[in-house]
C-alpha cells in the first residue's frame, strides 16, 4: 500500500537494495528489464550506463557500500554481468565455483590457465587485469574484487574460492546438482531465463552473443 511505499522510500538507499536482495536472492547491478540496483535507486530503466545519470554519485556510493557488506557477494553470474548474491546463496555459488566442470575449464585460454595456476587453491589474492580475468570471472572459477591502486589504475584482486570460503566462513552444499538448482531457482524468481546462467542448460538454446552485446549496458 501507499504507507509501505512511503516507508520503503524513507529508508537509506542501501537498505532498500538490501531488502530487495534478501527477497530475491540475486540482483543485477544494472539491467534493462530485470530487478537491479540502478533501477531501485533511480526508479528508471536506463538504456545507457549509469555513470552519466544525475544520481551517479549516489549509485557509486551505494555499490561501494554493498561491495563491503557482510551479506553481499558480487559475481558474474547472470549474463556474465555484475550480479549481487545474498549470503543465503553463497554455499551454492561456492559449490559451483569449486566444481571445475567441463563448461568451466574447456577452451580456457593459456593465459587464463596460467593465472588460475598462479592463484592456486588457497593462496593470497593476486592482482591482475585484462581478458584472462574476465574469462575466469565468467566461468565462476575465481571470486574478484575491484581495487583502486595508488597510481589511479583499476585492477582486480583475484581470490580462490577456497581462500574466500575460509575468510567468510562459508561451507559448500552437498552436491553440484543441488547447487546449480538453487541458483537456477533464484534466477527464475528474479525473472531471468536459465540461459542467463554460465553453465549449459539441457534442452535450452544458448543466447546469441550478438544479441547479448546489445543487452549489456
pLDDT digits (tens, 9 = 90+) for 30-62: 999 999 999 999 998 988 899 999 999 999 999
Provide the whole-model pTM.
0.86
Cα distance between residue 58 and residue 40, in whole Å: 12
Contacts of range 198-203, beta carbons closer than 8 Å, 24 or more positions apart? 198/76, 198/77, 198/80, 198/103, 198/138, 198/139, 198/140, 199/96, 199/101, 199/103, 200/103
Task: Say if residue 217's pLDDT is above 50.
Answer: no
Enter the C-alpha cell of residue 141: 572459477
Query: Looking at per-residue confidence, does 168 or 204 come out higher?
Result: 168
Q: DSSP letters of 124-151? A: --EEE-SHHHHHHHHTTSSEEEEEE-TT
pLDDT digits (tens, 9 = 90+) for 102-132: 999 999 999 999 999 999 877 788 999 899 9
Task: Say if residue 203's pLDDT is above 80.
Answer: no
Enter the C-alpha cell of residue 18: 538490501
Cα distance between residue 183 and residue 88, in whole Å: 11
pLDDT at position 156 is: 86
In terms of Cβ atoms closer than 10 Å to its own Cβ (0-12, 13-18, 19+), residue 211 is: exposed
Element (H, E) at 84: strand 81-86
Task: Say if residue 140's pLDDT is above 70.
Answer: yes
Q: Which residue has the cell 530503466?
A: 45
Cα distance between residue 141 and residue 94, in whole Å: 10
CA neighbor of 135 nearest in space, from 76, 85, 93 = 76
Task: Say if residue 147's pLDDT is above 90.
Answer: no
Cα distance between residue 99 and residue 171, in whole Å: 14
Phi first, then psi, for residue 10 (nearest 5°) are -80, -15
Amino acid at each position: 500500500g501507499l504507507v509501505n511505499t512511503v516507508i520503503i522510500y524513507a529508508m537509506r538507499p542501501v537498505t532498500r537494495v538490501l531488502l530487495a536482495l534478501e527477497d530475491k536472492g540475486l540482483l543485477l547491478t544494472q539491467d534493462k528489464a530485470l530487478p537491479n540496483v540502478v533501477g531501485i535507486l533511480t526508479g528508471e530503466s536506463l538504456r545507457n550506463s549509469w555513470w552519466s545519470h544525475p544520481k551517479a554519485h549516489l549509485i557509486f556510493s551505494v555499490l561501494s557500500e554493498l561491495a563491503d557488506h557482510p551479506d553481499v557477494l558480487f559475481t558474474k553470474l547472470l549474463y556474465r554481468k555484475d550480479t549481487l548474491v545474498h549470503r543465503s546463496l553463497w554455499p551454492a555459488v561456492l559449490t559451483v565455483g569449486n566444481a571445475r566442470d567441463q563448461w568451466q575449464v574447456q577452451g580456457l585460454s593459456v593465459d587464463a590457465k596460467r593465472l588460475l595456476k598462479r592463484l592456486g587453491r588457497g593462496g593470497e589474492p593476486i592482482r591482475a587485469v585484462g581478458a584472462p580475468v574476465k574469462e575466469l570471472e565468467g566461468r565462476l572459477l575465481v571470486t574478484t574484487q575491484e581495487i583502486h591502486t595508488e597510481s589511479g589504475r583499476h585492477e582486480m584482486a583475484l581470490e580462490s574460492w577456497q581462500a574466500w570460503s575460509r575468510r567468510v566462513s562459508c561451507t559448500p552444499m552437498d552436491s553440484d546438482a543441488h547447487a546449480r538448482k538453487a541458483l537456477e531457482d533464484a534466477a527464475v524468481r528474479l525473472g531471468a531465463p536459465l540461459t542467463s546462467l554460465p553453465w549449459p542448460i539441457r534442452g535450452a538454446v544458448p543466447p546469441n552473443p550478438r544479441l547479448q552485446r546489445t543487452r549489456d549496458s
